[in-house]
Structure 1
Amino acid sequence: MKFSPTAQTPLEWIALKAGLVPTPLAYSHFGFMMSKFLLEAVDKGVFEAIGHRRISLEEICASCNLNAKPVKSLLGVLATMGLVKQIKKLFCLTAKSKKWILKDSPHSLYWLMVFDNRVCVKWMDHVGSFLETGKGLQYHETLTEDEWFYYQKAMEAAASATSKEAVRKIPVPPGATRMLDIGGSHGLYSVALCKRYPALTSTILDLPSAVEKAAPILKTYNMGNKVVHRAGNVLEEDIGKEQYNAVVMASVAHHFTAEENKLVAQKVYDSLQPGGTFTILEVLRSDEAKYNGDMLSALGDFFFALSSTSGTWSLKEIIGWQKEAGFGSFKKATFLTIPGYVAITGRKL
């Protein structure tokens, strides 16, 4: 998937085809405006103020304690994004806003947008120094208590888009009773899998700061002792020998170096019973730079390298870690909810 300027009139189409439009500005100048304007609208409560109603500009401003002049301009921008509609003098949300932005939606990405606005935007100030030094931010070591809360809520929101699909993509051996969820914090993958397989229980291994903020999230899913947290770092913790039937590691490998991922794969192999499965969920990296390449994959590689000094990995690299640890019988399943997101499973033979 990629984003690019779209012509709205025949003349604009001709101008684009003729190379008369300075398309780099769409990304450099207008792209950051669109992102920040939308994030502030979410963070300031504009979408929540409108909700499922049709309300006036004055009502929106009164609800959010905002000034009418800039909000009117902001609503115009949001309308061009297809997020807000104006009907005479009243404003309402479009279906996509109600689905993806409102907090009460089961598909809501509200907290991911809040995390972007309150935390990730600040990371962009470090892009220049990252390009010079290659040293990322290692944000897990620097997040404040409030930022840990935003982070865990954001990861829950992101996983809500994939966890329902994940239960069909993650193989679980017949009769499995014990699963380890590495870096699973919020627990959505564990919850979804344990609901699908009634005999299955899961232990979520994550950093102490993550567990502290994620525990209240997991509690809302009423899983009791079927899904529990264990505070610790998988790079340092002893996860046992032949303890589990399945191990899942979702969106974690991009925080680890190649050597760390190899270490995790070996520890996981040892922790699995024969026939057990190890599933790694990640956005794959392409090693070829091309116009028709996956923009989300390319952005993810740079973003995670900036934030964690690692980045995304190729299919060959991920299977390589698993194969070196002793896994075989590999399977790859591609997600529809997040383009480029895959589940790669190896089996302990």
Structure 2
Amino acid sequence: MQYGAIPESLVERLALTAGLVPIPMMDAMFGMLKSRFVMAGVKLGIFEALASEPGTAESLAAALELDGPSLELLLRSLVFAGYLELDGGHYRLSAMSRKSMVSGAPRELTGFVMWNYTQWQYTEHLELLLQTGRGVDFHSTLQDAEAWGYYQKGMLEGARFNAPVLAKHVPVRKGATTLLDLAGSHGLMGAAICRKHPPMRSTVIELPAAVTHARTLAEREGINDIVDHRSGDVMTEALGSGADVVLLSNILHHFLPDQIGSLLERVHQSLNADGTVAIWELERPNRDSKPSGGDGIALFFRITSTASTYSGDEYAGWLTQAGFSRVKIVRPRLSPGSVIVHARR
């Protein structure tokens, strides 16, 4: 999806066409402001305060102990951004915010928004990455337990959109009972496959800093009846043997190609005969394709992990090199920018 200067009137459209709009200034300023406005709305409890009933700027400022004039400007900005609505001096949640910006909402994204405070800090590393080629590698450097919690919750919120799509496309042999979910956090992606193919159960191997949060999230999500968690680093932890399915969901973009190749060889050894390996990832566009938002995502993961997203063809090649057969690439229409690559042992 594209983002940028969007004219709202004929005059603005003409000004944009005539080159009279300082687009670089708008790109530098307004994307940053919109992101921070939304983050403040979650962190300061503004969306939660409006969940039960509309309120004025004055009543919200008193209830939340915030500066009234500043809050009114934020509220008006959130109306402009589509997160709130204004009617007769009273602010209320927009339909989008009611679905996503309050606790327990059907498409809640408050955990991801709070995790964005940490991601905000990581983006400050961009210039150093460009000078040195080294990212933050936050999985080994992040020490803030609260940030780890928001990270895990944010990943769960994203997985709710994708789990049904993944489960639809992953082939599972008849009689399968065990799924190994590598660095699967909350375990929802693997749980969706298990629900589709009973009596399968999933075991998630997750980093010690994440696993306590992940277990709690699995319990709240109602999947702990088929998901177990084991503390460990997937790059060094023994994967065992006898798995019917091994899932790598949104994890390989944190690894370099040689690490991915080594891990896939170990995955091959851990699977039963005719077992399935399934990769779910954001896909980097091919270098000869038209530049897109996927290139920015790839760069972001170089910032966070020194690695990157990769193309479906690259994953397919690594799977073949690791000894897998019947490799298939799937690009789900309902998950643009994502790719599923699965294969059999």
Asked whether the equivalents of residues 205 and 234 of structure 2 are also in contact (C-alpha less than 8 Å), the reply is yes
Deviation at 1:289, TM superposition (A): 7.6
TM alignment of 1:215-254, pairs within 5 A: 215-224=215-224, 226-241=226-241, 243-254=242-253
Q: Kindly indicate whether residue 263 of structure 2 is the aligned counterpart of residue 264 of structure 1.
A: yes
Asked whether the equivalents of residues 52 and 93 of structure 1 are also in contact (C-alpha less than 8 Å), the reply is no
Q: Kindly indicate whether residue 321 of structure 2 is the aligned counterpart of residue 324 of structure 1.
A: yes
TM alignment of 1:48-63, pairs within 5 A: 48-63=48-63
TM alignment of 1:1-349, pairs within 5 A: 1-117=1-117, 119-143=118-142, 144-224=144-224, 226-241=226-241, 243-288=242-287, 293-295=291-293, 297-335=294-332, 338-348=335-345
Asked whether the equivalents of residues 47 and 93 of structure 2 are also in contact (C-alpha less than 8 Å), the reply is yes
Supply the distance in 2 between the matched residues of 1:320 and 1:216 (Cα, whole angstroms): 36
Supply the distance in 1 between the matched residues of 2:16 and 2:34 (Cα, whole angstroms): 21
Asked whether the equivalents of residues 283 and 339 of structure 2 are also in contact (C-alpha less than 8 Å), the reply is yes
Supply the distance in 2 between the matched residues of 1:339 and 1:303 (Cα, whole angstroms): 18
Deviation at 1:20, TM superposition (A): 2.5
Supply the distance in 2 between the matched residues of 1:54 and 1:238 (Cα, whole angstroms): 54
Q: What's the secondary structure of 1:344's corresponding residue?
A: strand
Give the structure-2-normalised TM-score.
Answer: 0.94
Supply the distance in 1 between the matched residues of 2:97 and 2:15 (Cα, whole angstroms): 31
Supply the distance in 2 between the matched residues of 1:317 and 1:122 (Cα, whole angstroms): 30
Asked whether the equivalents of residues 185 and 206 of structure 1 are also in contact (C-alpha less than 8 Å), the reply is yes
From the superposition, tell whether residues 68 and 138 of structure 1 become closer, same or farther in structure 2 (CA, over 3 Å): same
Query: Gaps (5+ residues) in structure 2?
Result: none
Asked whether the equivalents of residues 152 and 210 of structure 1 are also in contact (C-alpha less than 8 Å), the reply is yes
Asked whether the equivalents of residues 253 and 282 of structure 1 are also in contact (C-alpha less than 8 Å), the reply is yes
Q: What's the secondary structure of 2:279's corresponding residue?
A: strand
Q: What's the secondary structure of 1:262's corresponding residue?
A: helix
Paired letter, 1:294: S
Asked whether the equivalents of residues 208 and 231 of structure 1 are also in contact (C-alpha less than 8 Å), the reply is yes
Supply the distance in 1 between the matched residues of 2:91 and 2:225 (Cα, whole angstroms): 46
Paired letter, 1:72: E
Supply the distance in 1 between the matched residues of 2:102 and 2:209 (Cα, whole angstroms): 27
Asked whether the equivalents of residues 181 and 247 of structure 1 are also in contact (C-alpha less than 8 Å), the reply is yes
Cα deviations by residue, 1:155-207 (Å, 9 ceiling, x for unpaired): 11221221232221333222211111011111111222222222111111111
Deviation at 1:267, TM superposition (A): 0.9
Query: Gaps (5+ residues) in structure 1?
Result: none
Asked whether the equivalents of residues 316 and 328 of structure 2 are also in contact (C-alpha less than 8 Å), the reply is no
Paired letter, 2:40: E
Q: What's the secondary structure of 1:162's corresponding residue?
A: helix
Asked whether the equivalents of residues 179 and 194 of structure 2 are also in contact (C-alpha less than 8 Å), the reply is no
Paired letter, 2:283: L
Deviation at 1:64, TM superposition (A): 2.0
Paired letter, 2:260: N
Which deviates more, 323-332 or 277-286?
Answer: 323-332
Supply the distance in 1 between the matched residues of 2:62 and 2:254 (Cα, whole angstroms): 43
Asked whether the equivalents of residues 316 and 329 of structure 2 are also in contact (C-alpha less than 8 Å), the reply is no
From the superposition, tell whether residues 39 and 337 of structure 1 become closer, same or farther in structure 2 (CA, over 3 Å): farther
Which deviates more, 332-341 or 56-65?
Answer: 332-341
Q: What's the secondary structure of 2:281's corresponding residue?
A: strand
Deviation at 1:224, TM superposition (A): 4.7
Supply the distance in 1 between the matched residues of 2:72 and 2:49 (Cα, whole angstroms): 14
Give the structure-1-normalised TM-score.
Answer: 0.93
Deviation at 1:10, TM superposition (A): 1.1
Deviation at 1:274, TM superposition (A): 1.8
Supply the distance in 1 between the matched residues of 2:64 and 2:312 (Cα, whole angstroms): 46
Which deviates more, 169-178 or 150-159?
Answer: 169-178
Paired letter, 1:2: Q
Paired letter, 1:248: L
* Percent of residue pairs bearing the same amino acid type: 31
Q: What value does the CA root-mean-square deviation take over the aligned residues?
A: 1.7
